[in-house]
Structure 1
Amino acid sequence: MRRTLGWAASVWLCAFWTPAIALGQTAVGASPRTAWGAPDLGGLWDFRTMTPLQRSRELADTPTWTVEEATAYEAQTLERRTRNPLAPSSVHAAWWLDNGTELTRDRRTSLIVHPPDGRIPPMTSEALARQEAQGMGRPVRLRQSRNASAQGPEDLGVSDRCLSGFSTGPPITPSAYNNNLMVFQTQDHVVLFTEMVHEARIVPLSDGPRLPDTMRQWLGDSKGHWDGDSLVIETTNFTHKIGSFNSLGVALGSGDTLRLVER
């Protein structure tokens, strides 16, 4: 049986997981349930997708493709990957990557759904000036990937040192490989265990107290609850050592001010 689980980071990012293994048969139209009656999310999930994070500028006013357009895009992308393997200097061979072979089911032109143009908002002039002034002295959170001038491990980005994977989140975003997630579930907790960097995010399903503001963590402090059949997770208390949004090549903002809602 094939299931799809919708996952959205509040306001602007939406991704989809697809199960990597079958988890048993259920009646047509029925959602799997745990022994205690909650939606059963446990198992292995694959969140790879061909859908790009940002929408190309020429598609700014086109949030979704037609069936014909989506089919053509998938075919062209697969053909381009075959025709243009990675350069010899690349770390990974083309056959080793796992970018996904199809778009999301709703045929969106980007995972970002807000702002309406499907793109990460541009940096402000103040932020650009600050970045230029910092040069190679930029904070670690903004050196997400390699630093050619690194004199030691402290000069490398957080993903190079495997302190935080560029796709592990929060929020979890598709990448070129390791797009796998294992979910463990009890009545009181959900655990999200990503293949990338093997991060295990433990999410209490309770109204217990949050960490004090002075306690900051790489994965933040998560609390979850059920909204009907949807799991909603709110996370705060991120460390300033990460960005408020991270991808393979860039980290923006500061986790210190991040409040993340995932659904």
Structure 2
Amino acid sequence: MNDSGLNRVAVAAMGIVLLTSVAVAQQETFEPVRTSWGDPDFSGHYLPGAYQALETPSNESWTPVEGANQGQGAAFSRFFAPDPDAPNRPRARPGGSQGPMVIDPPDGRLPLQPWAVEQRNEIMARQDQLAHLDPRVKCLPAALPRAHLPVGYNTYQIVQNEDHILVLYEWNHHYRYIPLDDRPHVESAIRLGMGDSRGHWEGDTLVVDTTNFTDNTWPVGHGAPPDDAPGTALTTGHGVFHGGGLHVVERFTFVDAETIRYEATIEDPEVFTQPWTLRFNALRRAPEDHMLFEYACHEGNGANLSLMTGTDVDAVRVHPIR
């Protein structure tokens, strides 16, 4: 990248930092509605937040904001189109001129170990292999932080008392039962699709520490593929896997009466060279008449069937934006 390109990226990054600082200062002054025992009241129904790309694509001519919106974000524009089977159903919303969700490392990229980069490229290149398909295609759990990433069919319900938080996810009927005391995590031999969570309060922020994940999930599902990735990699095969030591620390904070900011730090030394953090406004209040829909996942009803019958699925999938 030449000097002018570096200057352009630096100026854009400085602008993002300044805007973020102003937004955080405004959010810190917000006083949330409280429960009868004094904690912020998270109970209620929520819709997915506005869509943002997870990370910055590798095109060096783009700033982080341009990359997140022109590359990966554009490829997922189908999430915003009305559902012909449910035209009145709320959909995920475009994120506008925002940078990637990944805020650390500062380049907006996932810090994968070299071997994990090779493995991920193999997954993207070999979408004719059932073993490489996205776990969601096989109706497996979404894991974390993926369960909070914005998709068009996922809504949430939060139930709260003094001692516990219960989060119900429309996606695959996931749920999380989060104790708010200081009990330890379950023993390491016990593995759960959504992990084992423990929560506590830091001021008005709910902090949730989760470990003990099964090894058949992806913590995120739409990392930016490299420029030469096949079209199939933009649908089911572009996710990022994890090892046995996945550890996720989430932070839920009201930024206004309608919106919860979500921040998660992901640590897994086997797969990532360092812990990394994403942040975005994940949850927005649903209308009062909102309800969770039944999520009927049928393993093999789409991608698996195409693979088993030899159908050329590449012709009908979204291709990378060049």
TM over 0.5: yes
Per the alignment, residue 141 of structure 2 pairs with 164
CA deviation after TM superposition for structure 1 residue 29, in Å: 4.8
Q: For 2:179, give the aligned amino acid.
A: P
- Cα deviation, 1:149-170, whole Å, max 9, x if unaligned, reads 54xxx785421121223xx633
Distance 1:255 1:41, change over 3 A: farther
Q: Equivalents in 1 of 2:171, 2:111: separation in Å?
A: 26
- For the residue of structure 2 that corresponds to 1:242, the secondary structure is coil
Distance 1:130 1:34, change over 3 A: closer
Per the alignment, residue 40 of structure 1 pairs with 41
Q: 1:261 aligns with which of 234, 237, 249?
A: 249
Distance 1:50 1:243, change over 3 A: closer
Q: 2:110 aligns with which of 104, 120, 124?
A: 120
Q: Within 5 A, what are the aligned runs for 1:71-86? A: none
- Cα deviation, 1:87-131, whole Å, max 9, x if unaligned, reads xxxxx994229331444xxx531111111111223551x334556
CA contact (8 A) 1:242 1:251 kept: no
CA contact (8 A) 2:80 2:93 kept: no
Q: Equivalents in 2 of 1:172, 1:61: separation in Å?
A: 24
Q: Equivalents in 2 of 1:93, 1:227: separation in Å?
A: 35
Residue 108 (1) aligns with residue 83 (2): no
Question: Structure 1-normalised TM-score?
Answer: 0.62
Q: 2:83 aligns with which of 69, 72, 96?
A: 96
Q: Equivalents in 2 of 1:249, 1:100: separation in Å?
A: 23
Per the alignment, residue 251 of structure 1 pairs with 239
Q: Which has the higher contact order (CA 8 A, sep 6+)?
A: 2
Q: Equivalents in 1 of 2:35, 2:100: separation in Å?
A: 33
Q: Equivalents in 2 of 1:110, 1:155: separation in Å?
A: 25
Distance 1:30 1:225, change over 3 A: same
Per the alignment, residue 21 of structure 1 pairs with none
Q: For 2:247, give the aligned amino acid.
A: R
- Unmatched segments (≥5 aa) in structure 1: 1-27, 87-91, 136-141
Per the alignment, residue 212 of structure 2 pairs with 237
- For the residue of structure 2 that corresponds to 1:127, the secondary structure is helix
Q: Equivalents in 2 of 1:204, 1:222: separation in Å?
A: 7
Question: Structure 2-normalised TM-score?
Answer: 0.52
Q: For 1:262, give the aligned amino acid.
A: E
Q: Within 5 A, what are the aligned runs for 1:153-192? A: 157-165=134-142, 169-192=144-167
CA contact (8 A) 1:60 1:117 kept: no
Per the alignment, residue 198 of structure 1 pairs with 173
Q: Equivalents in 2 of 1:61, 1:163: separation in Å?
A: 32
Identity of aligned residues (%): 27
Q: For 1:203, give the aligned amino acid.
A: I
CA contact (8 A) 1:59 1:109 kept: no
CA contact (8 A) 1:33 1:39 kept: yes
Alpha-carbon RMSD: 3.7
